[in-house]
RNA sequence: GCGGGCGUGGCGGAAUGGUAGACGCUGCGGACUUAAAAUCCGCUUGGGAUUCCAGUGCGGGUUCGAGUCCCGCCGCCCGCACCA
């Protein structure tokens, strides 16, 4: 063995060896138990970033560990390859989105290979290839046949410059995120998936996902947003009716007005011929929609002059148009109960409407005044006729029963979840497989004509969807009547592509989306790993798509991901500089870590552009002082990024993998540091030196070391299975120290061999290189070391001795020493006697093998 | 406002109700070396000082014993939100 481990030559050599042996190819015919380990596949933006490295390293350690434990492991990788950045690149650089994407994939694949991930590349998928999206079109048609796909007119955010629909997230302060143009609301015919049909199922299913983070389940629960209440109508003074929805029908006797949304038909009707009403409606629509604006926005109303008759009391309640009522939730109209709803309270205060108490802590507090705000809490009904004395829950049921009995309302469940609009007016996506015929209407493309392939000869010189402008592509004959017709030019939301890729990984026949038998063997994914940013959309859509396929009989599995893990981000300090020397600026107070913040234009510099001198930090190029900012997520604009390729080139793949697993618990953020990666590089060499000391001929037993080894193997396995990689890392450091200190013996040689196996999932290249002279075959194919349960327990233990709960001494005794002996030994301790100071012992607590507590 | 999470050394963090600070990083001291790098050894919560005291955001409580459990606060992070 060489003196130093040289990753530059070892890494590529072993990566080639694994390729050659096809070590990580999942065998569908294997009789071993199955394990499907999956990380969220990347968007091929061009470069692998450090967050990918952390994500895939975690999955890789688990996949390699599972193989060692005797599982047939499926650990695939692919590319979420459709999407806007490719089109933006096309517009900005004049390249074709396909060429740009495929080149990025090639680059990123090479990067992943350099990191030594144990991936089954034979199952690689790129969603932009017809072999994939053609099958997606087939699934879309299946869902259409079963009534789960439909078309309807819907208001969308339209960017008039880019000529496209924008998602809500792409509208920033009312402007398109790319063009900066004022976004318009347009009505367009859009394709929808009936996710609301699954609202109940998706909500109930969450309770079965006990290996998902509580946080993600809660987020999905809130997103689905189930609420139960009463929908009923008020008779209006105009002779009409207004339907309202309330989750608090118990408070109906506290209603003091009715409020409708600005675009509610009643408001529209009231506006006819009345400019002042029209003005008010316009004012309501002007309001911003950001959280901050909503928080501070004043409640505004306009009294229509119409009144609504209370179903019990017969009182005439005024009907207001109000800016806080949303048209697209419930019925767009509410009964307002100021005493028990804060918005209604603010509104009633402003317009001097009655604020009645109908829920109180007790019947005696029926007339207690409000303390400047509404009360939403539980209690007993008061001032409420036949409801008086009932609890909130009882009153809700009683009102719903009356309404249903008398026929003016019914109990109803309302969901926040909306159907999933999947139409995008973009080129670089899966073509929606439909044809518009003037005679037959909307006609699905016959399956035998799939895939509907994206044309390659498109131009991006003008804004808008190139598919619309393409001279020939959209012109086809109607498959039903043969008349000239037009292809659908919208493409699918890319979230559709990522809603079933995990199925295609498990099985990829040429002639169908997947083989259900193979899906049954591999799914659900045993461990799914990815970022928290996908907690709602991707994970909800994937759950929906899986359930939809199950409902139409394509597959059996209902939940795609058995266990979910959301890993933290990789963060880094930021370094910023002000372009005016500090002596020329005014100090504005407040001290930063190193410098007071001067006035000037701030710009960010990268870690490579700074140097540290005398405990302060300077920009190398200018000598200007650097402000060391918060540790935040790496991003290009803050220049606090590190390039994984450079790290691999300097320290090798194993060092960066080890860093990704060290220190921070995997669900928390990991602060990157130069010192940290250097430490990892040192440890790689330290292990290498230790492995070089392996001596197959050594003799003699070292019982204590044997125990340490077995205890570490046992604990490391548990830690890896629970993804506690930082703890595994710490244990490996401990064992390394113990082995280094041990005298040569057969035990020590065995310990080195075992340590090598333990680190192999984390540092596979180093492990293979050392294994070549110690073991047989590839360590990638080796088994996880067996644990001897007899060696997990020590025969000597350290027992803590406390006096009144305070530690005074420790005893080293044989394991299993009797309570009596322990007590006697504790009392014999000089330190204990001094602490007791002659006091009388009232009580003795002895926990065998752990502690003795003397209570005086 | 609703929901979720988190507060432990200079930093990242360990700790089935039972020896708080494992392990790593940083810093300091030492060995080796002509020197440096690499490596190795020691120290690194605070105070007093070798056998002590205090200490896990703050205030209470349960317990022989609390970082851990309970109650009440404070602070930070994340998600959702005029959702009726």
What integer pLDDT is reported at residue A687 of this predicted model?
95
In the complex, which nucleotide's C1' lies nearest to the CA atom of residue A323?
B82
Question: Residue A108 — very low, low, confident or very high, per pLDDT cuts 50/70/90?
Answer: very high
Q: How far is CA A487 from CA A133, A481, A497, in A?
A: 17, 15, 20
> How many angstroms separate the CA of A662 from the C1' of B13?
10
Which carries the bigger pLDDT value, residue A536 or residue A192? A192
Report d(CA A748, CA A760) in Å as an integer.
Answer: 18
In the complex, which nucleotide's C1' lies nearest to the CA atom of residue A724?
B14
Report d(CA A500, CA A541) in Å as an integer.
Answer: 9
> How many angstroms separate the CA of A350 from the C1' of B74?
34
The whole-number average pLDDT for the span A602-608 is 74
Q: Which residues pair with A334 in a beta bridge?
A: A259
> How many angstroms separate the CA of A853 from the C1' of B69?
20
Which of chain A's residues 400-429 bind strand B, using a 7 Å CB cutoff? 414, 416
- Would the pLDDT of A174 be above 70? no
> How many angstroms separate the CA of A4 from the C1' of B12?
28
Q: Residues 6 or more apart from A391 whose CB is under 8 A from it? A: A378, A379, A380, A381
Per CA to C1' distance, which residue is closest to B2? Answer: A222
Which of chain A's residues 769-798 bind strand B, using a 7 Å CB cutoff? 798
Q: Is the CB of A32 under 7 A from strand B?
A: no
Q: What percent of chain A has pLDDT over 90?
A: 55
Q: Which residues pair with A572 in a beta bridge?
A: A632
Backbone angles phi, psi at A479, to 5 degrees: -65, -15
Q: Is the CB of A248 under 7 A from strand B?
A: yes
Which of chain A's residues 130-169 bind strand B, using a 7 Å CB cutoff? none
- Would the pLDDT of A587 be above 70? no
Q: Is the CB of A262 under 7 A from strand B?
A: no
Token code pair at residue A667: 């669900």
pLDDT in tens, A39-82: 999 999 999 999 999 999 999 999 999 999 999 999 999 999 99
Q: Is the CB of A396 under 7 A from strand B?
A: no
Report d(CA A72, CA A33) in Å as an integer.
Answer: 6
> How many angstroms separate the CA of A334 from the C1' of B84?
6
- Would the pLDDT of A525 be above 80? yes
The whole-number average pLDDT for the span A94-103 is 93
> How many angstroms separate the CA of A783 from the C1' of B7?
42
- Would the pLDDT of A147 be above 90? yes
> How many angstroms separate the CA of A853 from the C1' of B51?
19
Token code pair at residue A551: 């409902």
Report d(CA A759, CA A740) in Å as an integer.
Answer: 16
> How many angstroms separate the CA of A366 from the C1' of B72?
28
What integer pLDDT is reported at residue A582 of this predicted model?
45
Q: Is the CB of A536 under 7 A from strand B?
A: yes
Report d(CA A466, CA A479) in Å as an integer.
Answer: 24
What integer pLDDT is reported at residue A337 of this predicted model?
92
List b or e across A479-504, with b for residues whose CB sees 16 or more CB atoms inside 10 angstroms: beeeeebebbbbbbbbbbbbbbbbbb
The whole-number average pLDDT for the span A216-237 is 90
The alpha carbon of residue A222 and the mean position of all alpha carbons in its chain are separated, in whole angstroms, by 15
The alpha carbon of residue A448 and the mean position of all alpha carbons in its chain are separated, in whole angstroms, by 38
Overall residue count recorded for chain A in this entry:
856
Question: Residue A393 — very low, low, confident or very high, per pLDDT cuts 50/70/90?
Answer: confident
Which of chain A's residues 333-372 bind strand B, using a 7 Å CB cutoff? 334-335, 341-343
Contact A238, A308 (CB under 8 A): no
Question: Helices (H) and strands (E) in chain A — how many of each?
Answer: 26, 37
- Would the pLDDT of A590 be above 60? no
In the complex, which nucleotide's C1' lies nearest to the CA atom of residue A801?
B19
In the complex, which nucleotide's C1' lies nearest to the CA atom of residue A259?
B84
pLDDT in tens, A437-486: 999 999 999 999 989 999 988 888 887 788 988 999 999 999 999 999 99
Q: Is the CB of A287 under 7 A from strand B?
A: yes
- Would the pLDDT of A668 be above 80? yes
pLDDT in tens, A312-361: 999 999 999 998 888 878 888 999 999 888 889 888 988 999 999 998 88
Report d(CA A807, CA A813) in Å as an integer.
Answer: 17
In the complex, which nucleotide's C1' lies nearest to the CA atom of residue A328?
B83
What integer pLDDT is reported at residue A579 of this predicted model?
63
Report d(CA A111, CA A694) in Å as an integer.
Answer: 33
Report d(CA A52, CA A531) in Å as an integer.
Answer: 10
Q: Is the CB of A851 under 7 A from strand B?
A: yes
The whole-number average pLDDT for the span A551-572 is 93
Q: Is the CB of A669 under 7 A from strand B?
A: yes
Q: Is the CB of A329 under 7 A from strand B?
A: yes
| C-alpha atoms less than 13 angstroms from C-alpha of A410 in its C-beta half-sphere | 4
Q: Is the CB of A682 under 7 A from strand B?
A: yes
Q: Is the CB of A87 under 7 A from strand B?
A: no
Per CA to C1' distance, which residue is closest to B19? Answer: A800
Report d(CA A718, CA A727) in Å as an integer.
Answer: 10
Question: Residue A663 — very low, low, confident or very high, per pLDDT cuts 50/70/90?
Answer: confident
> How many angstroms separate the CA of A452 from the C1' of B24?
55
What integer pLDDT is reported at residue A260 of this predicted model?
92
| C-alpha atoms less than 13 angstroms from C-alpha of A757 in its C-beta half-sphere | 28
Q: Is the CB of A831 under 7 A from strand B?
A: yes
Measure the N-to-C terminal CA separation of chain A; round to a whole number of Å: 62
What integer pLDDT is reported at residue A584 of this predicted model?
40
Mean pLDDT score across all residues of chain A:
88
Q: Is the CB of A726 under 7 A from strand B?
A: yes
In the complex, which nucleotide's C1' lies nearest to the CA atom of residue A537?
B79
Which of chain A's residues 292-321 bind strand B, using a 7 Å CB cutoff? 294-295, 297-299
> How many angstroms separate the CA of A679 from the C1' of B14?
19
| DSSP classification of residue A197 | G
Report d(CA A1, CA A644) in Å as an integer.
Answer: 28
Nearest to A363 by CA among A337, A388, A338: A388
The whole-number average pLDDT for the span A262-273 is 89
The whole-number average pLDDT for the span A485-511 is 95
Per CA to C1' distance, which residue is closest to B82? Answer: A324
| C-alpha atoms less than 13 angstroms from C-alpha of A459 in its C-beta half-sphere | 5
Q: What percent of chain A has pLDDT over 70?
A: 93
In the complex, which nucleotide's C1' lies nearest to the CA atom of residue A807?
B19
- Tell me which of A141-155, A223-237, A362-376, A731-745 is least confident: A362-376
Which of chain A's residues 100-129 bind strand B, using a 7 Å CB cutoff? none
Q: Is the CB of A718 under 7 A from strand B?
A: no
Which carries the bigger pLDDT value, residue A95 or residue A173? A95
Per CA to C1' distance, which residue is closest to B23? Answer: A730
Q: Is the CB of A283 under 7 A from strand B?
A: no
- Tell me which of A95-99, A785-789, A811-815 is least confident: A811-815
Contact A595, A629 (CB under 8 A): no
Token code pair at residue A631: 């540790």
The whole-number average pLDDT for the span A421-443 is 93
Contact A792, A711 (CB under 8 A): yes
Nearest to A713 by CA among A117, A692, A59, A705: A705
In the complex, which nucleotide's C1' lies nearest to the CA atom of residue A830?
B51
DSSP letters spanning A29-59: T--SPEEEEEEPPPP--SS--HHHHHHHHHH
Identify the three-state secondary structure at position A778: coil
Token code pair at residue A522: 């591999």
Q: Is the CB of A274 under 7 A from strand B?
A: no
- Would the pLDDT of A564 be above 70? yes
Contact A323, A300 (CB under 8 A): yes
> How many angstroms separate the CA of A751 from the C1' of B42?
27
The whole-number average pLDDT for the span A681-691 is 94
> How many angstroms separate the CA of A844 from the C1' of B63?
14
In the complex, which nucleotide's C1' lies nearest to the CA atom of residue A673?
B25
> How many angstroms separate the CA of A757 from the C1' of B23?
20
What integer pLDDT is reported at residue A583 of this predicted model?
44
pLDDT in tens, A118-137: 999 999 999 999 999 999 99
> How many angstroms separate the CA of A96 from the C1' of B9?
55
Q: What is the pTM of this model?
A: 0.90
> How many angstroms separate the CA of A666 from the C1' of B14?
14
Report d(CA A157, CA A165) in Å as an integer.
Answer: 5
Tokens 């795609």 sit on residue? A560
Instruction: Compute how many other C-beta atoms are within 10 angstroms of the C-beta atom of residue A657.
Output: 29
> How many angstroms separate the CA of A5 from the C1' of B66?
48
Nucleotides of B under 7 A from a protein CB: 1, 3-5, 11-16, 18-20, 22-26, 38-41, 51-54, 64-66, 78-84
What integer pLDDT is reported at residue A167 of this predicted model?
65
> How many angstroms separate the CA of A805 from the C1' of B66?
11
Q: Is the CB of A853 under 7 A from strand B?
A: yes
- Would the pLDDT of A15 be above 70? yes
């Amino acid at each position: 063995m060489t003196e130093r481990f040289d990753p530059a030559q070892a890494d590529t050599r072993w990566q080639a060896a694994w390729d050659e042996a096809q070590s990580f190819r999942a065998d569908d015919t294997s009789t071993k138990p199955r394990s499907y380990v999956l990380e969220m596949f990347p968007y091929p933006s061009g470069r692998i970033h450090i967050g990918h490295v952390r994500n895939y390293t975690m999955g890789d350690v688990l996949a390699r560990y599972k193989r060692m434990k005797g599982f047939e492991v499926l650990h695939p990788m692919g590319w979420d390859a459709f999407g806007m950045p490719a089109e933006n690149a096309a517009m900005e650089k004049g390249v074709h989105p396909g060429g740009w994407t495929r080149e990025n994939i090639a680059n990123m694949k090479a990067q992943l290979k350099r990191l030594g991930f144990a991936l089954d590349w034979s199952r690689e998928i790129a969603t932009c290839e017809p072999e994939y999206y053609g099958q997606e079109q087939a699934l879309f048609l299946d869902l259409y046949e079963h009534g789960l796909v439909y078309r309807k007119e819907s208001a969308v955010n339209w960017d008039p410059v880019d000529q496209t629909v924008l998602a809500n997230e792409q509208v920033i302060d009312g402007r398109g995120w790319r063009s900066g143009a004022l976004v318009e609301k347009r009505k367009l015919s859009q394709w929808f998936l009936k996710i609301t049909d699954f609202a109940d199922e998706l909500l109930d299913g969450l309770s079965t996902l006990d290996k998902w983070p509580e946080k993600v389940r809660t987020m999905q629960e809130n997103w689905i947003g189930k609420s139960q209440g009463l929908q009923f109508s008020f008779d209006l003074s105009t002779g009409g009716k207004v339907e309202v929805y309330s989750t608090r029908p118990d408070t109906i006797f506290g209603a003091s007005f009715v409020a409708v949304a600005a675009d509610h038909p009643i408001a529209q009707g009231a506006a006819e011929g009345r400019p002042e009403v029209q003005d008010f409606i316009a004012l309501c629509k002007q309001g911003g929609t950001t959280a901050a604006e909503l928080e501070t926005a004043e409640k505004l109303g306009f009294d229509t002059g119409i009144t609504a008759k209370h179903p019990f009391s017969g009182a005439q309640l005024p009907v207001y148009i109000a800016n806080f009522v949303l048209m697209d939730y419930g019925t767009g109209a509410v009964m307002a109960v100021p005493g028990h709803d804060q918005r209604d309270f603010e509104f009633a205060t402003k317009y001097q409407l009655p604020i009645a108490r109908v829920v109180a802590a007790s019947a005696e507090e029926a007339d207690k005044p409000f303390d400047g705000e509404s009360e939403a809490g539980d209690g007993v009904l008061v001032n409420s006729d036949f409801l008086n004395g009932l609890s909130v829950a009882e009153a809700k049921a009683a009102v719903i029963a009356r309404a249903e009995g008398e026929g003016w309302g019914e109990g109803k469940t309302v969901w926040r979840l909306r159907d999933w609009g999947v139409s995008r007016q973009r080129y670089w996506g899966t073509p929606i497989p439909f044809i518009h015929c003037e005679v037959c209407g909307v006609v699905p493309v016959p399956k035998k004509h799939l895939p509907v392939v994206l044309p390659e000869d498109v131009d991006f010189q003008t804004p808008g969807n190139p598919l619309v402008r393409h001279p020939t592509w959209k012109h086809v004959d109607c498959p039903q009547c043969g008349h000239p017709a037009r292809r659908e030019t919208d493409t699918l939301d890319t979230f559709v592509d990522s809603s079933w890729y995990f199925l295609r990984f498990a099985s990829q026949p040429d002639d169908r989306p997947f083989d259900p038998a193979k899906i049954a063997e591999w799914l659900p994914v045993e461990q799914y790993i990815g970022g928290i940013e996908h907690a709602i959309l991707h994970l909800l859509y994937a759950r929906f798509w899986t359930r939809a396929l199950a409902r139409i009989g394509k597959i059996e599995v209902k939940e795609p991901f058995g266990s979910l893990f959301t890993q933290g981000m990789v963060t880094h300090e930021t370094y910023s500089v002000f372009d005016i020397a500090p002596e020329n600026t005014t100090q504005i107070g407040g001290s930063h870590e190193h410098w007071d913040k001067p006035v000037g234009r701030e710009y960010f510099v990268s870690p490579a552009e700074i140097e540290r001198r005398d405990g302060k930090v300077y920009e190398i190029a200018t000598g200007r002082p650097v402000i060391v900012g918060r540790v935040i997520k790496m991003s290009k604009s803050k220049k606090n990024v590190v390039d994984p390729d450079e790290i691999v080139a300097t320290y090798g793949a194993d060092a960066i993998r080890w860093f990704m697993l060290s220190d921070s618990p995997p669900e928390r953020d990991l602060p990157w540091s130069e010192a940290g990666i250097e430490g990892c590089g040192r440890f790689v060499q330290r292990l290498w030196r230790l492995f070089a000391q392996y001596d197959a001929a050594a003799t003699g037993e070292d019982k204590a070391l044997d125990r340490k080894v077995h205890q570490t193997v046992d604990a490391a396995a548990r830690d890896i299975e629970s993804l506690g990689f930082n703890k595994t890392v710490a244990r490996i450091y401990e064992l390394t120290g113990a082995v280094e200190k041990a005298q040569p013996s057969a035990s020590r040689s065995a310990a080195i061999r075992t340590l090598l196996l333990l680190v192999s999932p984390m540092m596979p290249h180093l492990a293979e290189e050392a294994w070549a002279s110690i073991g047989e075959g590839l360590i990638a194919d080796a088994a996880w070391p067996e644990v001897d349960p007899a060696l997990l327990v020590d025969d000597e233990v350290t027992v803590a001795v406390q006096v009144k709960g305070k530690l005074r001494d420790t005893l080293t005794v044989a394991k299993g020493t009797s309570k009596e002996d322990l007590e006697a030994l504790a009392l014999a301790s000089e330190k204990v006697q001094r602490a007791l100071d002659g006091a009388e012992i009232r009580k003795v607590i002895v926990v065998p093998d752990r502690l003795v507590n003397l209570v005086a």
